[in-house]
Structure 1
Amino acid sequence: MKSFLLLLVLLSTHLNAQKSLTFDKTNLQCEDKWIVYQMDKDSIYHYGFIYIDPQAGLTLHYEGGFKIDKKGTFYKVDTDKKKDVAFIKIRLQPNKIAIAVLPEEKFSELNIQKNPEWLAIYKVDEGSVGRLYLWGFMYNGWNEIEKALTFLEKAEKIDPNFKGLQTELAFSYNAIGFYDKAEKSLKKAIANNPMDCYTYKELAYTYTKLEQIDKVIATYDVMVKYCKETNFIQETAYNLAFEYFKTKDKTQFNVWKIETKKWSKTENQYIKNLIQMEAELNKS
């Protein structure tokens, strides 16, 4: 009977927790939010505040642990956190681990503020074009393209000629299939900096997606003439070879296979892929 009653208490606590906490977010969705990790083996929920450090990237300000009593009240408990520090900062890598946003009505129970006082140092120049560009750049790197665009498009309204901005916008547009927009951004970028090889590489990719192969080749010729970054040149040559592979044009595939190999000192994934493509073409 005692075991049965204990089970009911634990079940009740768990149900109360489920009502308060919904574990349906990833860490990248929780910038500037108090979050909770799922309960550990000791029935402790670990929580903290996720923010972005401009130098370190995605960061967790770990605050500690709490439990939930049978009434659904959150109360702090001791954890293994070092006793000589008030908090621990943990650099995060984007992942798909399900976490919960801490409900605002529970802040008082844990004695926390919606916006911690220390957060202010990370909000300096929050609306500046440089900060918006950096946040967009980071979210693009984390493959959160639509979130990146919320920052980059704001930055463009402030200063469309900010260094690197138009190319980063184009990267976002390419990622979501807005190739016409990407082309416009890249042309602006080239007008501002006609010697940026990454921009040309992105433009060649855009023309590939627009199925404007003549323009891809013209862009490639510019890259060969001016670019020192041979990896960008090789990627563009490889993309052209792949396009001709898809249309089973053996002659042009061979041309661009040779071009791709020309820019590689050692066998890499591009070369391995081309060998497989060539074998496939030879079957037909």
Structure 2
Amino acid sequence: MKILLFTFFLLISITSSAQLTFDQRILDCENKWVAFPEEYGGLYKYGFIFVDSRAGLTFEYRGNLKIDPTGKIKAYPNEENSSIKVPLYPSKTLIAIIPEANFEQLKISKDPDSQSLNKFKEGSIEQLYSWGSIYNAWGEYQKAMELLEKASKINSEYEGLSVQLAYSYNRLQQYKKAIEVLKKALVVNPTDAFINKEYIYALVNTHQLDAAIDRYRNSLEVCPDKTYVAENAFYILQGYFYKIDKKNFDKWLAQTENVMSSNEQIKKIVEEMKTGMKNEM
């Protein structure tokens, strides 16, 4: 009887160890072997998540796995166990961390060959900047700011650092800090569209609308990248809207409505703002 009970509990243990619990955010799984939710036929994509020095948060796809009725994992690795590296973008998808008890079945090691992964040195400015940028992209602005400020203490002129730090400040409504950082960044790179966008945003939110308009017009002349033109015009219109300044709202709208209409999302919000402004009068 004791032998039967032991066998029963052992079977439960083996079966349980292969269960995948999809309760982890992608952002929290750096340096972990993970599986993504089932897609078809009981198959789960599995691989390793790390921060690539060029692509940012990355999934090294190793193949598919399947769990049979007894709880045993069967792996279907890529040809010759090759890896495919896929950048990861903001998503609400929850994934599962693969238990170490299943590594042998999958023929994987806790720490993959670091030579095949473009990883950063712990605590380096490259790591701080990369993770700060990732946190910004995923909406974790407080965490981003803390890392980027640490990076700035190492080298405030590190490429791309100023605008990422300013982006964090702007989203945390620390506009004066953003302006201070962006003024210096514009001296070095006045034609950068992203820097100009964040500067206009900060100026609007500190009620410096005339300065924001000057920067907007200057950016039209000097920035080859026109990605943010509609967004910049919208920020200024929004500034007049919140001030309930109908005269300047209508004036700016007449000058830039065609530009803003190129962005469907902005176009829809502008129509709502026009209605709201009429109702305020």
Shorter-chain TM band: 0.7 to 0.9
1:238–1:256 Cα contact (<8 Å) kept: no
Query: Per-residue deviation at 1:175?
Result: 2.1
- Alignment partner of 1:122: what SS? coil
Q: What residue number does 2:61 align with? A: 61
Residue 171 in structure 1 maps to residue 197 in structure 2: no
Query: Per-residue deviation at 1:111?
Result: 5.0
Q: What residue number does 2:198 align with? A: 202
- Alignment partner of 2:81: what SS? coil
Q: Any gaps of 5 or more consecutive residues in structure 2?
A: 1-7
Distance between the aligned counterparts of 1:31 and 1:41, measured in 2?
Answer: 26
Distance 1:46 1:161, change over 3 A: closer
Matched AA of 1:60: E
Matched AA of 2:61: H
- Alignment partner of 1:112: what SS? coil
Matched AA of 1:183: I
Residue 101 in structure 1 maps to residue 114 in structure 2: no
Calculate percent identity across the aligned residue pairs: 32
Q: What residue number does 1:193 align with? A: 189
Q: What residue number does 1:250 align with? A: 246
Distance between the aligned counterparts of 1:43 and 1:198, measured in 2?
Answer: 43
Residue 77 in structure 1 maps to residue 74 in structure 2: yes
Q: What residue number does 1:159 align with? A: 155
- Once the two structures are superposed, the pairs formed by residues 196-275 of structure 1 within 5 Å of their partners are 196-220=192-216, 222-223=218-219, 226-261=222-257, 263=259, 267-269=262-264, 270-275=266-271
Q: What residue number does 1:24 align with? A: 23
Q: What residue number does 1:4 align with? A: none
Distance between the aligned counterparts of 2:235 and 2:259, measured in 1?
Answer: 14
1:75–1:110 Cα contact (<8 Å) kept: no
Residue 123 in structure 1 maps to residue 119 in structure 2: yes
Distance between the aligned counterparts of 1:124 and 1:280, measured in 2?
Answer: 50
2:81 to 86, 89, 92: 86
Matched AA of 2:219: M
1:17–1:68 Cα contact (<8 Å) kept: no
Query: Per-residue deviation at 1:263?
Result: 4.5
2:26–2:95 Cα contact (<8 Å) kept: yes
Query: Per-residue deviation at 1:212?
Result: 3.8
| Deviation sequence 1:172-220 (CA, Å, 0-9, x none) | 2212333233222212212333443432321121122233434434433
